[in-house]
Amino acid sequence: MNLIDIADKFPNELDTVKYFEKLRWGKKITCAYCDSANVGQRQKDFRFFCKDCNRSFSVTTGTYLHDTRLPLKRWMFCIVLIIQAKKGLSALQLSRDLGVHYETAWKMYKKIRECLNDADIKLDGIVEMDETYIGGKPRKAAKMLISKNQMAYYDKKLKELSPPFHFSEGKYKKPHRLVPSKRGRGTDKTPVTGIVQRNGDVIAEVMKHLTSVQLRKMVEKHVNEKDSVIITDQYPGYNKLDSIIEHIKIDHHKMWSYRGINTNTIESFWAILKRAIVGQYHHVSTKYLPDYVMEVVFKYNHREDEGKMFKIICKKLITNHTNQNA
């Protein structure tokens, strides 16, 4: 599914509205408030009137698209642009592509992310589990301070410049050493734990605290323990998995893989997630991080069929009620 497909299949707004109506109601349109089938014909504004509760409604009433002022066709374009951006799309770029304000594009993207929930997935067979840490990119530590000879050289060059140039010192007034940031476990960054099935789906969750209890609960929730073997690194938090599932630990200090025993699949998923955050979004707050992770998970799990992904998102947008009143 791409932009050309949308333009060809839905040449006008009425065709778009009919598509969403079919996704929501099927062949028989019913009232969005009382579920009555005693409704009038579609009006020019694409609304219906219920003859039982005397209220008017449209296909977006009570859904994630409730009270939207944008044409549904523009929502379709938005979905396609998001789907095709494998590593994410900034709201600023989306606003340029759709011809809407940045705030509008951000809200549209946020609503779509809220629908991308693959939390009920069950994994089995060979599964890999690992964690990563999301936050600012660490600065490399400087090996040494600037020498006195270097300082004298720069001071001399500044005096000899003609005409004089005024350089702003910025935040740091003195030569300084960059403090190395901690990487991995022990950092102040937000931990994200993931489990992936070989040649299958992935599940990932943002965790406030990375504990053995939380890791075990995640496995019990998303993995069929009896028919699976799980591969992790040697982090002690994974030790309690031994009591519920076949567990193989690989020592990354000695090797990355042995006869197919590795965590390369989940590491590849982390690469996609970090490319999205570092390369596209640049900064993600802890409050919204679960939504961004969920988006990458959803795209990964439906990577083989963009058409199916498009239909799933449209259906979720139009059938997930928000309990809003007209």
HSE-up of residue 44 (Cα within 13 Å, Cβ side):
0
Residue 71 covered by a domain: yes
Tell me the one-letter amino acid at 12.
N
Q: How far apart are CA 197 and CA 123, in angstroms?
A: 6
Q: Same domain, yes or no, for 58 and 190?
A: no
Q: Same domain, yes or no, for 111 and 127?
A: no
pTM of full prediction above 0.85: no
The pLDDT of residue 253: 81
Q: How far apart are CA 69 and CA 72, in angstroms?
A: 9
Residue in the block written with tokens 């949308």: 6
Q: Same domain, yes or no, for 7 and 34?
A: yes
Q: Same domain, yes or no, for 275 and 198?
A: yes
Q: How far apart are CA 61 and CA 317, in angstroms?
A: 11
Q: Same domain, yes or no, for 131 and 87?
A: no
Q: How far apart are CA 5 and CA 136, in angstroms?
A: 39
CA distances from 305 to 1, 9, 20, 153, 264 (A): 9, 18, 20, 62, 23
Residue 68 covered by a domain: yes
Domain that holds residue 109: 3-115+306-319
Q: Same domain, yes or no, for 131 and 274?
A: yes
The pLDDT of residue 116: 86
Number of structural domains in the chain? 2
Peptide bond preceding 163: is omega within 30 degrees of 0, i.e. cis? yes
Q: Same domain, yes or no, for 248 and 277?
A: yes
The pLDDT of residue 223: 95
Q: How far apart are CA 241 and CA 237, in angstroms?
A: 9
Residue 149 covered by a domain: no
Residue 223 covered by a domain: yes
Supply the CATH number for residue 242's domain.
Answer: 3.30.420.10
The pLDDT of residue 79: 96
The pLDDT of residue 325: 42
Q: Same domain, yes or no, for 128 and 269?
A: yes
Q: Same domain, yes or no, for 233 and 276?
A: yes
Residue 289 covered by a domain: no
Residue 295 covered by a domain: no
Q: Where are the alpha helices (DSSP H) in 85-225?
A: 91-98, 102-115, 148-160, 212-222
The pLDDT of residue 138: 53
What are residue 128's DSSP bridge partners? 196, 231
Residue 239 covered by a domain: yes
Q: How far apart are CA 82 and CA 276, in angstroms?
A: 12
Cβ–Cβ < 8 Å for 105, 38: no
Q: 152-191: string of b/e by CB count within 10 Å (b at 16+)?
A: eeeeeeeeeeeeeeeeeeeeeeeeeeeeeeeeeeeeebbb
Residues 6 or more apart whose Cβ sits within 8 Å of residue 251: 233, 234
Q: How far apart are CA 21 and CA 195, in angstroms?
A: 37
Q: Same domain, yes or no, for 58 and 199?
A: no
Q: Same domain, yes or no, for 262 and 129?
A: yes
Q: Same domain, yes or no, for 11 and 48?
A: yes
Residue in the block written with tokens 């031994």: 242
Structure tokens at 91: 């709201």
Residue 150 covered by a domain: no
The pLDDT of residue 147: 72
The pLDDT of residue 11: 95
The pLDDT of residue 74: 96
Divide the 326 residues of the chain into consecutive groups of 10 and give the mean pLDDT of each group: 92 96 94 94 94 95 93 96 90 95 95 84 94 72 62 81 70 51 67 95 92 94 93 92 93 84 93 88 86 93 90 89 46
